Structure 1
Amino acid sequence: MLQTVGKWLWWDHLWLPRNVSWSDLEDSEGRVYAKGFHLYAALPCALGLLLVRYLFERYLAIPLANVWGIRDRIRLTAEPNLILEMYFCTQARAPSQADVRSLCKKTSWPERRVQVWFRRRRNQERPGLRKRFCEASWRCVFYFFAFVGGILALYDKPWFYNLKEVWADFPKQSMLPSQYWYYLLEMGFYLSLLLSLSFDVKRKDFKEQVIHHIATLTLLGFSWISNYIRVGTLVMAIHDSADILLEGAKVFNYAKWHGTANGIFVVFTVLFMVTRLVIFPFWVIHCTWVYPLEQFAPFFGYYFFNAMLLVLQILHLYWAVLILQMVCKFIFGKLEGDDRSDEEEDDDDSSKERNHKLSHTNGAGARGRANGH
């Protein structure tokens, strides 16, 4: 049964143009073609990158955070309470007003004490500023070297300047060593992001990020096996270019270099809109949607590859909306940090009380001086 499923899954007509079979992609006459088993190396590469990330954060990012004075906010720990802990873990992190009253009856606590407990408990689940800084630093460094490596692998290739060359002699295109290593590192990196989901910073677009990583790995894997390598390298380079600036802006924002962070964010916004909303759909997707039909009839792999590219484009549109919202806040002076982040809450009402009393005292003093005058 497994052999039957395997034969159907790797049926030539599913993934390759008509009159082309997998046997045509066997190494011969000095040509070396991409093979499915090459992708097995992505797992050890991902584990290796996780080790490199650990060493980078421990010996480079954390010392840099110390130099820049990046400290985690001191948090008050929620006092032990089994009833509230059970509700927090099994039902909701932010109870409704009716549930707060119900919990007050069960715990014999006043309503304000229950609300403070939940604020503190939610803050305990949020990552600290240093963790966010280390994560953004790692991604910024990886995207930088990946982008530079991609440009070095592409700058002298004819398909980098003429997209029709992407399909020249397709699918009988020999694999280059630079393409192999570029693919391996990118697949290892995105696989490492999936493996580290449990301890990475969870943002508001967490589900979209998971979809993006899975779609990217699927695209890279399929493009590798079906020899869509040329267009795959172009897609990776386009994505890495803007991601460098996004993570760089976060790094400087966490370091409170707000002027530098804002400048990088402006450049990132322009580059994102150009690469993800113009170049990607109107150059790359046009290249994969229109040009292949000049050489062969459409087949399942052709539709599958373009469908995955469209999934990425939908995610680009979603993130473009978030970015434009941040731009509006930036223009009106209300942008503070990453709009996708789950920001900390005040976990005690004492500061609010002091501010209220101070405001009341200042107001009364001002009225007294006015009356005396």
Structure 2
Amino acid sequence: MEELLNQWLWKEYYWLPAGRSWKDIGDDAVGTWRPLPRDLFLTLPLALGFIAVRFVFERAVALPLSRALGVCDRVRARAAPDPKLEAFYLQKKNHFSQGDVLSLEKHCGLTVRQIHNWLRLRRNQDKPSNTKKFCEATWRFVFYLIAFAAGLASLIDTPWFWNHRECWRGHPRQPVTEAQYWYYLLELSFYWSLLFCVSVDVKRKDFKEQIVHHIATIFLISFSYCGNYVRVGTIVMLVHDSSDFLLESAKMFNYAGWRKTCDSLFVLFAVVFLVTRLIIFPCRVIYSTIVESQDFFDPFPGYYLFNSVLLLLQALHIFWAYLILRMVYKFVFLGKVERDERSDEESEVEEEEDGGGVEEESCYDQRKDLLNSKPASLANNCVLNNLTHQRRNINSRLPKAR
């Protein structure tokens, strides 16, 4: 099996420039690593470790922090227990037709309206709370912040951080330091953990784009490690981490209701994102991988594959930049950021509320505002009703007067 893999999968023609072999990769100097594909198997248990650490972190750190910052959850009315409706909901979720509801009506003894109300209440029960979203954002914020600080500390003294041409000098015989080795493996393990947890995390507006992003990132990190593109790979990861922790911090304060802090952090995130993803990444990093690298070796299959994945990431950056610019437009002309257009908007339908007050805010101030608004609403309705009755009386008297 190993011989077959070496002959087909690890063929030097696909992975390395012409005239280079696997023996040219790495260095045996003290404190350095030689990138080997088998190192990537270590990322799977590390990903499971990240999931375990996240489970503990969200309950021991993020949850108390959410209470300290005043994160409020909606108190949702629960649907009455009904085994038949529960089985129907678990099977169909939101993908059911009117014919399915009519068929269910015969078996449950309920009206169509009652079934729709029950399904609405049951669907609202599954909507994630602000506390859950806050805990997820806090976990990602902590990781991205630590990863960015550690990556910057390990790269700021390297020559290829300032001059990207140094990423290709001597390739592929480039030693990998211990810091770069763990930076790579931990970043890859974290994205594996995000991909494993995508089914239980909050499903957002750009759910499909996030899946594509995670898969492309995992493939890019794995491929660049096997081909010893570690120098340029660390720069790519640093560019991405530079804005992600700002976004997660803005989400945290958004769920806590700190609007001014959230808006300020979002504007800062938008500036950093647009500069790093639309200027630095394409004009410096991708330009170096496509153009400057050819000064050191001729294009080969791995060269085209590596740059294709980078261009796919850049296409996702453009998509997210469009959503961010929409938010900037709302902030400039409306004076506030109403919601996170990039990835914080849930992909499911908006939460419906019952006319009789099925759901109400758990915070006292929000309940107070709701109660204060009801007398005014009732007064308006009374005024409208009086005007309507007076108009009808006048119209009924006109024929008699004539």
TM-score between the two structures when normalised by the length of structure 1? 0.90
Tell me the distance in 2 between the aligned counterparts of 1:218 and 1:54: 26
1: distance between equivalents of 2:78 and 2:384?
Answer: 39
Q: Distance in 2 between matches of 1:217 and 1:292?
A: 22
In structure 2, runs of 5+ residues without a counterpart are 359-370, 391-402
Quote the offset at 1:100 in angstroms: 4.7
1:351 aligns with 2:357: yes
- 5 Å-filtered alignment, 1:276-291, equals 276-291=277-292
What one-letter code is carried by the residue in structure 2 that aligns with 1:351? G
Superposition map of 1:174-185 within 5 A: 174-185=175-186
Shift of 1:361: 4.0
Equivalent residue, structure 1, for 2:305 = 304
Q: Is the 8 A contact 2:26 2:176 kept in 1?
A: no
1:19 maps onto 2:19 in alignment: yes
Q: Equivalent residue for 1:320?
A: 321
For 1:106 and 1:152, the matched residues in 2 are separated by 65
Distance 1:283 1:135, change over 3 A: same
C-alpha displacement at 1:67, in angstroms?
1.4
Contact 2:33 2:181 in 1 (8 A): no
Matches within 5 A, 1:86-235: 86-93=87-94, 95=96, 100=101, 103-104=104-105, 106-235=107-236
1:262-314 Cα offsets, whole Å, 9 max, x none, are 11111111111111111111111111001111121111110110011111111
Identical-pair percentage: 47
User: How far apart, CA to CA, are the structure 2 residues paired with 1:151 and 1:123?
Assistant: 43
Are the equivalent residues in 1 in contact too, given 2:26–2:173 (CA < 8 A)?
no
Amino acid corresponding to residue 221 of structure 1 in structure 2:
S
CA distance in 1 between partners of 2:151 and 2:314 (Å): 21
Write the mapping of 1:255-266 to structure 2, written as runs, cut at 5 A: 255-266=256-267
* Letter of the structure 2 residue corresponding to residue 227 of structure 1: N
Q: Partner letter of residue 354 of structure 2?
A: D
Q: Which residue does the alignment assign to 2:270?
A: 269
Q: How far apart in 1 are the matches of 2:194 and 2:107? A: 41
1:342-366 CA-partner distances (Å, limit 9, x unpaired):
47613433139x9899635434347
Shift of 1:83: 4.4
Q: Is the 8 A contact 1:76 1:347 kept in 2?
A: no
2:214 alignment partner, SS class: helix
Moved more, 45-54 or 217-226: 45-54
Aligned-pair CA distance for 1:76: 1.5
Secondary structure of the residue that 2:74 maps to in structure 1? coil
Residue 4 of structure 1 aligns to which amino acid in structure 2?
L
- For structure 1, which segment, 206-215 or 247-256, has the greater mean C-alpha deviation from structure 2 after superposition? 206-215
Aligned residue in 2 for 1:7: 7
The verdict on how the C-alpha distance between 1:32 and 1:356 changes in structure 2, with shifts beyond 3 A counting, is: closer
* Residues 153/66 of structure 1: CA separation in 2 closer, same or farther (3 Å cut): same
One-letter amino acid of the counterpart of residue 20, structure 2: V
Shift of 1:106: 5.0
1:108: how far off?
A: 3.8
Q: Verify the 8 A CA contact 2:263 2:336 in the aligned structure 1.
A: no
Q: CA deviation at 1:5?
A: 4.4
Amino acid of the residue matched to residue 348 of structure 1?
A: D
Corresponding letter in the other structure for 1:115: H
Q: From the superposition, tell whether residues 360 and 63 of structure 1 become closer, same or farther in structure 2 (CA, over 3 Å).
A: closer
CA 1:82–1:356: 2 relative to 1, 3 Å = farther
Could you tell me which residue of structure 1 aligns to residue 367 of structure 2?
Answer: none
Counterpart CA distance in 1 for 2:269 and 2:107 is: 51
The root-mean-square deviation of aligned C-alpha atoms, in Å, is: 2.7
Q: 1:44: how far off? A: 2.5
Alpha-carbon separation, structure 1, partners of 2:152 and 2:111: 62
Q: Supply the AA of the counterpart residue of 1:15.
A: W
Q: What secondary structure does 2:75 align onto?
A: coil
- When residues 322 and 35 of structure 1 are mapped into structure 2, their CA distance, relative to the original with a 3 A threshold, is same
Q: 1:336 aligns with which of 319, 335, 338?
A: 338
- 1:328 and 1:101 mapped to 2: Cα distance? 45
Q: 164-173 or 54-63, which moves further after superposition?
A: 54-63
- Whole-Å separation in 2 of the counterparts to 1:245 and 1:345: 27
Q: Does the 8 Å contact 2:221/2:233 carry over to 1?
A: yes
Unaligned runs of 5+ in 1: none
Measured after TM superposition, the shift of residue 13 of structure 1 is: 0.8
The counterpart of 1:364, out of the listed 382, 386, 391, is: 382
Larger radius of gyration: 2
3-state SS of paired residue (1:351) = coil
Describe the superposition over 1:225-244 as per-residue Cα deviations: whole angstroms up to 9, x where unpaired.
Answer: 10100000000000001101
Deviation, structure 1 residue 37: 1.9
Q: Aligned partners of 1:135, 1:266: CA distance in 2, in Å?
A: 21
Question: SS of 1:150's equivalent?
Answer: helix
